[in-house]
Amino acid sequence: MTEILTVIGLDSPITGQNTATVDRLVQMCDVRASKPGTHAVADGAATTGRGSVLVVDDEPTIAEVVSCYLRRAGYATEIASDGVRAVDAAAASSPDLVVLDAKLPRLDGLEVMRRLRVGDQTRPAVIMVSGKAGESDRILGLRLGADDYVVKPFSPAELVARVDAVMRRIGRGVAADGKLVAGGVEIDPEARRVHVEGDEVRLTQREFDLLLFLARHPGRVFTRDELMRAIWQYSFYTDTSTVTVHIRRLRGKIESDPADPRYLKTVWGVGYRFEA
């Protein structure tokens, strides 16, 4: 793999061949390098309870540096070097979050994510990491269940910030039974039911899908084109007014004051976001 990982504080990016830089970074984080598949816990993880992260990447350089930064931030980490090991590690240790490379040997990242989303085991949050920066690739990853999408090259410090953000969301917004809770809104993805302040609200199929998609990515702004691709699955569609219509209908059903919405916010000139 030839991806380059840009590291905060260095004059130049590092590659898999730049082992001296990697060793310096690992020493700086004060953690010992571990072989793929082993579990390593930073001292802070045991005391702060920040959670556990499975780092999946077949490039040892990237996996070690990302794991290093996460441990320094107080997370327990484990590394898996391919898709099969990732699925096995997730089943064995039930991580809170998986940092998942899209391009993996044996099983690719999308297939790994699909397997993490089925069965009775606890479903971890997923941050997809990919060298593909296209909008369609990002939308595909999010539509298949990723909680965030990061494009290589990236800063490991930024990735830690994204892990922090997703951890806050899953700790605050998802109930033990898998329901999404934001203020007075409760969304049950399995039963496809929505309650607002305890009262059930009847939504159409598209209204429910749109609300669920936005609620699964709180704080993120989506354009109308992105929502058309994610919900209506249209790659090319010139009339995006249907998104506006559905947002207006949703506000009328879940907002106490649709003119001053609490949850479904308009970002003028861009699109919409869900406020948890």
Quick: pLDDT tens for 109-146. Answer: 888 988 887 754 567 889 999 887 667 767 777 777 78
4 within domain boundaries: no
13 within domain boundaries: no
Please tell me the predicted confidence (pLDDT) of residue 132: 75
Identify the CA nearest to 122 among candidates 96, 146, 99: 96
Bridge partners (DSSP) of residue 272 are 222, 266
| Contact (CB, 8 A) for 276 and 173 | yes
Residue tagged 């990515």 (tokens): 217
260 DSSP 8-state letter: S
| φ, ψ of residue 4 in degrees (nearest 5) | -110, 135
Residue tagged 């699964």 (tokens): 216
147 within domain boundaries: yes
Q: Per the structure, how many domains does the chain have?
A: 2
Sign of the torsion formed by the C-alpha atoms of 127, 91, 118 and 207: negative
Q: Find the CATH number of the domain harbouring 259.
A: 1.10.10.10
pLDDT, tens digit, 9 for 90 and up, residues 204-237: 999 998 998 888 777 778 888 888 887 876 655 5
Q: Domain check: are 131 and 268 in the same one?
A: no
Residue 179 has pLDDT above 70, yes or no: yes
Q: What is the Cα–Cα distance from 241 to 225, expressed in whole angstroms?
A: 10
How far is CA 186 from its chain centroid? 20
Q: What is the Cα–Cα distance from 58 to 8, expressed in whole angstroms?
A: 22
Side by side, the strands of the sheet bearing 193-196 are 180-182, 185-188, 193-196, 199-201
Q: Domain check: are 110 and 134 in the same one?
A: yes
| Strand 97-101 to 52-56 pairing | parallel
* Domain of residue 130, residue span: 19-173
Q: Domain check: are 41 and 149 in the same one?
A: yes
Question: What is the percent of the chain where pLDDT is above 70?
Answer: 74
| φ, ψ of residue 58 in degrees (nearest 5) | -85, 0
Q: Find the CATH number of the domain harbouring 63.
A: 3.40.50.2300
Please tell me the predicted confidence (pLDDT) of residue 232: 78
pLDDT, tens digit, 9 for 90 and up, residues 3-14: 444 443 333 344
Please tell me the predicted confidence (pLDDT) of residue 265: 95
Question: What is the percent of the chain where pLDDT is above 90?
Answer: 30
Q: Domain check: are 151 and 239 in the same one?
A: no
Bridge partners (DSSP) of residue 98 are 54, 126
| Contact (CB, 8 A) for 70 and 55 | yes
Q: What is the Cα–Cα distance from 247 to 225, expressed in whole angstroms?
A: 14
Q: Domain check: are 167 and 186 in the same one?
A: no
Q: What is the Cα–Cα distance from 62 to 11, expressed in whole angstroms?
A: 17
267 DSSP 8-state letter: E
Q: Domain check: are 37 and 169 in the same one?
A: yes
Q: What is the Cα–Cα distance from 223 to 36, expressed in whole angstroms?
A: 39
196 within domain boundaries: yes
Q: Domain check: are 169 and 187 in the same one?
A: no
Q: Which of 152, 173, 194 is the last residue of a domain?
A: 173
Q: Domain check: are 82 and 144 in the same one?
A: yes
Q: Which of 117, 145, 173 is the last residue of a domain?
A: 173
Q: Domain check: are 165 and 191 in the same one?
A: no
Q: Domain check: are 153 and 88 in the same one?
A: yes
Whole-model pTM: value is 0.54
> Length of the chain in residues, anyone?
276
Helix (H) or strand (E) holding 49: none
Residue 249 has pLDDT above 70, yes or no: yes
14 within domain boundaries: no
Q: Which of 109, 142, 173 is the last residue of a domain?
A: 173
5 within domain boundaries: no
First to last CA, the chain: 38
Identify the CA nearest to 73 among candidates 155, 153, 157, 152: 157
Q: How confident is the model at residue 74 (pLDDT cuts 50, 70, 90)?
A: confident
Q: Domain check: are 90 and 196 in the same one?
A: no
How far is CA 108 from its chain centroid? 17
11, 13, 15, 18 alpha-carbon torsion, rounded to 10°: 10
6 within domain boundaries: no
10 within domain boundaries: no
Q: Domain check: are 41 and 167 in the same one?
A: yes
